[in-house]
Amino acid sequence: MAGLEHAATVTTAPSLHAGLRLARALLADGEQAESRFAQALQAVHAQPFLRAYTELTFGEWLRRRRRVAESRPPLRSARDAFDALGAVPWGERARRDLRAAGEQSGTRRSSAVDRLTPQELQIAQLAATGLTNREIGQRLYVSHRTVGAHLSQVFPKLQITSRAQRRVS
């Protein structure tokens, strides 16, 4: 923590500061921990994964303190966010905690995006922002032909025929 605290004094990196708030909450005792979780949650609005992780750890913390009913909303929120992000292992962890809190949580529904490889997903996301194959290739250090080949695999998986048909999230 001391090293991270020092790093936070010389950088404005939002993820470092948000991570530090979460670490302080996890290391705090009792009522102080709860207020620190609240601070950590306020700091991560623009960071979906970190927000979901913070909600997950807060829900786990509440459940371990036998505040089962209070643990469910942050656990549900974490599960839904992880599902939306495609973070399958994290979504399953939230589901396990929800079950431990006495709530049934259905299995995650797969989407067309789940069928994409990580490289295909990255290219599809960049294409959805309106970049050309050449611009995508420059960002990913691959040729524009490689980008085109990946997109030719992506479109059938997403059941689309052009970039304009679908925005990948």
Predicted confidence at residue 67, as pLDDT, reads 92
Predicted confidence at residue 106, as pLDDT, reads 67
| Residues of the chain predicted below pLDDT 70 | 106-114, 163-169
CA–CA distance from 31 to each of 34, 37, 38, 66 (Å)? 5, 10, 11, 14
Amino acid in the structure at residue 62: L
Predicted confidence at residue 55, as pLDDT, reads 93
> What pTM value is reported for the model?
0.62
Beta carbons within 8 Å of 59's beta carbon, 6+ residues apart: 71, 72, 73, 74, 75, 78, 94, 97, 101
Q: What is the DSSP string of 82-132?
A: HHHHT-HHHHHHHHHHHHHTT---PPPPP-GGGGS-HHHHHHHHHHHTT--
Predicted confidence at residue 99, as pLDDT, reads 92
Predicted confidence at residue 108, as pLDDT, reads 59
> pLDDT of 44-81, one tens digit each?
777 788 889 999 999 999 999 999 999 999 999 999 88
